[in-house]
Structure 1
């Protein structure tokens, strides 16, 4: 009888222990997708992984989009592709409070993972959160807060995860077009991005590559399925809106490059016409114009040569914003010019024409606001080439 009681007690304890262990592994794991903010660093949205322990109530968000504005040489490291982001963990309430404060909508997709998959994902995240693992070299297009979330799920599920990208919107988009979707109305930021990043942005992005943007990760998750561990089921079992704010109407703002550059073009056209009629050069305008183009060219050259970001290479904006224009601006101030100046003006004219050809042929898409500046460059290099020698002595 005692043996029977002992056996029953052992079975009871093992059963309770197993149930407690099973209960301890009950989690709800979700993808959080946050709408863009008004600052350039937040204008592309954000993704995070929410892990809710249904037993203890512990509710945290794993966030791969953390960076330190106060880090030494932050701007130089960011531009040079040497900036590290890192994985951080915060409470769900604190995470949501920030987006509530900035009035950015947040949506949740609860994932249909089994308990083993949930456990493996949590272990994956916790391993990533170790001090020696949490930092990673940030790449805007291929390794960011959105791609890291996607890759975490892909790593855990492996071949069981089927994306079903064939049912997505079939329109192919380039990387530049995908960026424009997010910053179109932030005209100065959009211009800066187009100036800094080269022709590699003008190839079509694959469905997987589109997921550098959080909204495309959200769309991919909504289409995906889990197969091979039982009945096929959608990756997303339930969706809900956590915060919902009305999106502000898009506007370029009162001060934008579109009308400002056309005003500059009109001014240069007027002074060229007046100069032609009255026999004047108005060279001061050219000194400022070519000086600014030269400085822009120096920055683009530095990014091309010195940055570790592949997208800054092969930037054909340099055809019209050439660093040599800065030297031209300096020599135009002098009373005498050397013969090479006229040759350089012809070279600059040809380069500007080449930029237009590159644009038309689709080798690189330039920002639309640059059209009037290209016209000014073609106009003034042509005018100076034929008239500079009439007003300044050319050294022999």
Structure 2
């Protein structure tokens, strides 16, 4: 009788274990990390969440990185930092087809969640997909396709999620360092980004903040652990390569880039300054072109700083050398008789350019390296014009 009871107890125990195993396998939830692509908007990679339902056989991908091109005033909202991104859902097959067509690799990290955590994650995604919840105000560094997934994991697992960030605490990369890693092979895009983004991105990003980049979030998931609901276990229980393509080569700069072009500009202005000094001429047409370009660029920087909701374009000290007032200087230089303020403005422009160099040296903002010759040109020409413009071009009394 005792033996029969033991057998019956064993059967009941195995039955409950079997039921528990089925519950644990109700969903298969994975982080999908996609490699960068050839276009600028693909340059930083992508993250998404895959949810496979073992019972119903459905296989969906939840994607926080989509937006609606039919949004009224789409480009105006994009430029002003007012464009809303949204959570979208597609079939896994469609998602893979898209990235296969773009020849972008995809890696999958299957998460070792228990049944309760899986259910919480699925419900969280379903609620966030409701029409009134799916839209959010996009921020490249702090609220994007990757950070939304990171924040969801923090919410679902709470204190049970241990990121083990101490393993990378000594990395100390700034936000600018991090994004530069992905656009080195796109020199003009790299220059444009450095011109548009201000000193706010020149602080060191914490390991949590690094996860705005999909590759870094993939790395963080790989070292993270779950504690407190049983034996400590890695967050990721299985890693699979879904698509495999070569990554775009980093650090390979095209032949036509700002580095050598700006040095050619510097050589040109050095030559005309030397010739002008010898011949007692200004060659002021070159200055009109130079300060026109700088003034227009300064207006763009000013608008990005003060007239948009972009958080990363604030405190942009590129405005010291690309100053909006330079456009008025260019207009004034057209005149046959210069107004007295022109010479004073040239001294102010010289001081501003010198200040930009000081800001760079002190580390208050990191400027794009190709700008060195442009800063030298501004310092050279403002200095030359300040001391010589009254000699070769009459000033109004």
Q: Do the structures match in fold with TM over 0.5?
A: yes
Deviation at 1:253, TM superposition (A): 1.2
CA deviation digits over 1:274-326, x for unaligned, max 9?
Answer: 11111111111111110000000001101111111222111100000000000
Partner residue in 2 for 1:134: 134
Deviation at 1:42, TM superposition (A): 1.1
Give 1:143-222 correspondences, 5 Å limit. 143-168=143-168, 170-222=170-222
Inter-partner Cα distance in structure 2 for 1:261 and 1:200: 26
CA deviation digits over 1:116-151, x for unaligned, max 9?
Answer: 110110000000000000000001111000000111
Q: Secondary structure at the match of 1:87?
A: strand
Q: Secondary structure at the match of 1:170?
A: helix
Deviation at 1:25, TM superposition (A): 6.7
Inter-partner Cα distance in structure 1 for 2:371 and 2:68: 34
Deviation at 1:67, TM superposition (A): 1.2
Partner residue in 1 for 2:395: 394
The 8 Å contact of residues 25 and 119 in structure 1, kept in 2 or not, is answered as no
Check 1:60–1:246 CA distance in 2 against 1; reply closer, same or farther (3 A cut). same
CA deviation digits over 1:71-106, x for unaligned, max 9?
Answer: 333332122211100000001111011111111111
Give 1:98-113 correspondences, 5 Å limit. 98-113=98-113
The 8 Å contact of residues 27 and 52 in structure 1, kept in 2 or not, is answered as yes
Partner residue in 1 for 2:282: 281
Inter-partner Cα distance in structure 2 for 1:366 and 1:69: 33
Partner residue in 1 for 2:321: 320
Q: Which runs of 5+ in 2 are unaligned?
A: 1-14
Deviation at 1:49, TM superposition (A): 0.3
The reply to whether residue 234 of structure 1 matches residue 234 of structure 2 is yes
Inter-partner Cα distance in structure 2 for 1:197 and 1:76: 18
Inter-partner Cα distance in structure 1 for 2:191 and 2:375: 14
The 8 Å contact of residues 105 and 244 in structure 2, kept in 1 or not, is answered as yes
Partner residue in 2 for 1:365: 366
Q: Which runs of 5+ in 1 are unaligned?
A: 1-14
Check 1:327–1:103 CA distance in 2 against 1; reply closer, same or farther (3 A cut). same
TM-score by length of 1: 0.93
Q: How well do the aligned residues superpose, as a CA RMSD in angstroms?
A: 1.8
The 8 Å contact of residues 33 and 106 in structure 1, kept in 2 or not, is answered as yes
The 8 Å contact of residues 24 and 115 in structure 2, kept in 1 or not, is answered as no
Deviation at 1:248, TM superposition (A): 3.3
Inter-partner Cα distance in structure 1 for 2:308 and 2:117: 39
Partner residue in 1 for 2:247: 247
Q: Secondary structure at the match of 1:393?
A: coil
Inter-partner Cα distance in structure 2 for 1:339 and 1:206: 51
Deviation at 1:380, TM superposition (A): 0.5
Partner residue in 1 for 2:12: none
The 8 Å contact of residues 163 and 224 in structure 2, kept in 1 or not, is answered as yes
